[in-house]
Amino acid sequence: MKGFRTGETARTSLAVRATRKSRERTSSASVWGGALATALRAGLAAALLVGMAPQPSGAQEIPGDLREVRIGYFGPDDPDHPVGGAVWQGSQLAIEEANAAGGFEGRPFRLVQDWDENPWSGGAAGVVRMVYQEGVWAIIGGIDGTSTHLAEQVVAKARLALVDPASTDRTVNSAYVPWVFSCMPADGALMTAIADALSASRGRDSFILASATDHDSRIMAQAFLSVVHRERGGPQRHFQFESGSYRIPGLAKQIAESEVEAVVVLAGASDSAALIRELRAAGADAILFGGPALGRRTFLDRARAAAEGAHFPSTLQESELASAFGERFGSRWKTAPDYAAYHAYDAARLLIAAIRRAGLNRPQIRAALAESSPWEGVSGTIRWDEIGRNSRAARLAVVRGGQVRAAARREERSIKTPASESSGLRRSPPPPSPPTRRGDTRAPER
């Protein structure tokens, strides 16, 4: 079994760094926990003062003066946000369509939005405010693993449903909180698709892993290493880099000079685009694999021609529902949806259907969500596993001409060059191809 090829000095450095990171995480967790506890205490006090404390069980009559049905949304409401923009657009489109169809017994649905770029500080207070002061019936959010973890802790105490449209971190569900439902498959399913394709390529015995150190990338890298170590060994080297690091050009040059046959990049959309651009500029002709971030609009806009031939796991399934959604989304927002928009639209539609079925009762809304599986959405079939996460398998996709395409199924089932399409390794239908693309996003990815 192949491991990391690092010297004694490198191993010592990694051990010291791991110890430091462990201490930082412990310190951060303490700070985050304190912020969350403070926010919860403040929210409960405010709720009691205004008579809006949550009722965990029993029927709730619809007030005669109820003018709207509020659904919490934990994420930015800026369509140009590089991580959360598409999530907001998909969710908002579902609300608009539901209201056009009559809302809830003649009352419109409304997204009550809150967000902070440092979610564990200002964001915690925002989620508590939505629950205890705004009177939301359920929440959609967050936009990644970190923000979803925060929202999970609030709903576990407040006892209302959280529909997670974007995270792939299985630890979001590992606490077995019955109020959380995740629409994206977990990292393990996504990384299995990459590992299978890598094994069928010329890079199977010569590849490097480069991963960012943010929460989601770190968890995804752990899932990838678990899969490849179990099945066939590991990478020749594993480089880790901080998000937005100025060292990315130097890292790309070092990887290019190694002359490996394949490179796996696990990072956010902006960081993936930056590293892949630099790899191509440094002359690397390795086969490129990446995480699901390579299917984000931000990645395609920023990587541009350097993204050509890059392979990544897709969870989207082609269907008439998906095609019709792509057209409606393009008409509403003047741009194509990426996979986050598909899943966010499904998250909102699932929640709307549950409210219509259960009425305005938090526990019954949760029960209706649990009973909705399997559910046919625009992203494909959503089927909850035993901990409330979508169990749909992933299949390989490839970037062609700036567009996301299903990787072609070929008899040889191999990836021969960076520009050759890979065989599909899953039996699910191919992901839908976006009809159009947008221009450069403005805000940097966190």
What's the N-to-C CA distance of the chain in angstroms? 36
- DSSP class per residue in 411-426: TT--B-STTSPPPP-S
What is the tens place of the pLDDT at every residue in 225-250? 999 988 767 899 999 999 998 899 99
| 333 vs 351: CA distance, rounded Å | 22
Strands 375-376 and 262-266 come out as: unpaired
Supply the pLDDT for residue 417. 44
CB-based contacts of 412: which residues, under 8 Å, 6+ apart?
Answer: 423
Strand blocks (E) in 200-261: 207-212, 237-241
pLDDT beneath 70: ranges in the chain: 1-64, 232, 408-446
Look at residue 407 in the predicted model and tell me its pLDDT: 82
Per-residue tokens: 399: 């970037």
DSSP-based three-state secondary structure for 111? strand
Tokens of 340: 């986050």
Beta-bridge partners for 211:
240, 266
Instruction: Report the pLDDT value the prediction gives residue 229, as an integer from 0 to 100.
Output: 87
Domains and CATH numbers, the chain: 66-185+318-382 (3.40.50.2300), 188-314+394-406 (3.40.50.2300)
Tell me which amino acid residue 291 is.
G
Q: What is the pLDDT of residue 199?
A: 87
CB 417 within 8 A of CB 185: no
How many angstroms separate the CA atoms of 263 and 278, rounded? Answer: 13
* Integer Cα distance of 155 and 128 in angstroms: 9
Q: In the prediction, which pLDDT does 445 show?
A: 39
* Burial status of residue 149 (CB atoms within 10 A of its CB: 0-12, 13-18, 19 or more): buried
Q: Is residue 99 helix, strand or coil?
A: helix
Q: What pLDDT is attached to residue 426?
A: 31
Q: Write out the DSSP string of 425-442.
A: -SSSPPPPPPS-------
Per-residue confidence (pLDDT) for residue 99, from 0 to 100:
98
Contacts of 168 (CB under 8 A, 6+ apart): 145, 184, 185, 186, 187, 190, 216, 220, 292
Alpha-carbon distances of 359 from 10, 60, 69, 310, 343, rounded to whole Å: 59, 9, 10, 46, 24
Report the C-alpha gap between 53 and 227 in whole angstroms.
45
